[in-house]
Amino acid sequence: MSIKQLCFDAHTQLRDQHGIAVRRTHLYELLATLLGFNSHAALAADAVIGQVRQAWKFNNDDLTRLSKRCLALGYPTAQSQRIVEAITALAETHRLVAVDVRYLVKVVAGDSDSWDVDDEEMTDDVGIDHASPWQNALDLDLDSPLLIDGLEQLAAKEHVDAHHALALLLECEPPEERDGHWYRQQLAGRRLDGPEKEWADDYAAALAQFDQYRQHLATAARLGRPDAALAWAELTGEEADFRHAQSLAAPEDATRLLDLADQLGTSATVLPLLRQAALAGDVQAMRRLAEDFEPDPVEAWTWVHLAELCGTDLTRMEAVYEDGSPADDDIPGNIFAVGGIDVPDISAEQHTVARQEAARRFETMRDH
């Protein structure tokens, strides 16, 4: 199923049932209008048409806007009414919504609560009153073939967020080599049936998905998406990919980037970013600086005292489970001790200096 097919069906219905000849390009324009955009070009620039799982009804304002657009395209009043009914029925039957691709990335990544439409980023063609209908449709169907088709069309135009959204939707581990026996037998020309063929086909599908995931993630990284570049560098472990991710990284990426730098033996290159992250309130960055990188004990304790002002005692030992959640005596599981970092002792006078500097940094952090 695709939007092209849905518009073709609407075109056929209007022609055969009502004798109305509607230009197919107009159907795209009218559908975009119903979904909140002033033109199909505006919708297609940074959004895709997707579906929601729940029933979806358009309100009177939506229908009025659609009717006005239909009249503006030159259709008589009687025909316009039929066209409006057909387009609305199409959209409601298939539960269609327009979804901004940047928002979609946040939905897939589980970060949609942080989404905020910036009026200054919206193009004049969109119409700010109807620029974000997707915000009212939180129950998006992420398996929708319409959504995937729209993303693939955008990705074909080198749209970085479309590539990243597809990568997130396709994200998977590479299939285990040991599971590919029957797949390799099939490649060698052996005719399979029954469970053996199912296993071979499943392995082939897993390979194809992982390959698509890699391609979209690599392209999003190449096109300059920072989080995609970091994920791609983590996947490949290549120094060139690490350097590219580092060139795009923000302070909040510092601790992930440092883990990768440790593998490559280039941890020192991440220190400026790690300090930026710590000064912005990243307690894990403060921990790494205090424990592993600061040669001056007073500076190390400054980070410890700053973390304390942020609500975390880095010197305290805590019991946690493997996933980092606090251990509970009533819940079984492997328990590990974390915290209690080892920082060289300093004098009381030096602690006073460290606390004063930590307080200054904390105030600067709060001011920002």
List per-block mean pLDDT (blocks of 10 residues) for the chain, which spans 368 residues. Answer: 85 87 90 90 90 86 91 89 90 90 86 50 42 55 91 93 94 85 85 88 91 96 94 92 92 87 85 89 90 91 93 80 67 68 90 94 88
Please state the separation of Cα 159 from the chain's center in Å. 14
Read off the amino acid at residue 115. Answer: W
Alpha helices in the chain (DSSP H): 3-18, 24-34, 40-46, 60-72, 77-93, 101-109, 145-155, 160-170, 181-187, 194-222, 226-236, 239-248, 254-264, 271-279, 283-288, 297-309, 348-367
pLDDT of residue 250: 87
Q: In which residue are the tokens 């057909």 written?
A: 86
Backbone phi, psi, residue 339, to 5°: 90, -160
Return the closest-CA partner of residue 97 out of 64, 130, 60: 130
Residue 114: the pLDDT is 52
Whether 109 contacts 91, CB under 8 Å? no
Provide the pLDDT for residue 329.
Answer: 61
Q: How far apart are CA 29 and CA 66, in angstroms?
A: 10
Residues 6+ apart with CB under 8 A from 346: 297, 298, 301, 354
pLDDT score for 20: 85
For 294, the token pair is 């600061």
Q: Residue 343 has which token pair?
A: 């920082």
How far is Cα 259 from Cα 80, in angstroms, rounded to an integer?
61
Q: Report the pLDDT value the prediction gives residue 212, as an integer from 0 to 100.
A: 95
The pLDDT assigned to 339 comes to 64
Nearest CA-CA partner of 94 in 135, 47, 33, 141? 141
Residue 126: its pLDDT value, please?
44
Distance of CA 201 to the CA centre of its chain: 29
Taking the model in full, what pTM does it have?
Answer: 0.79
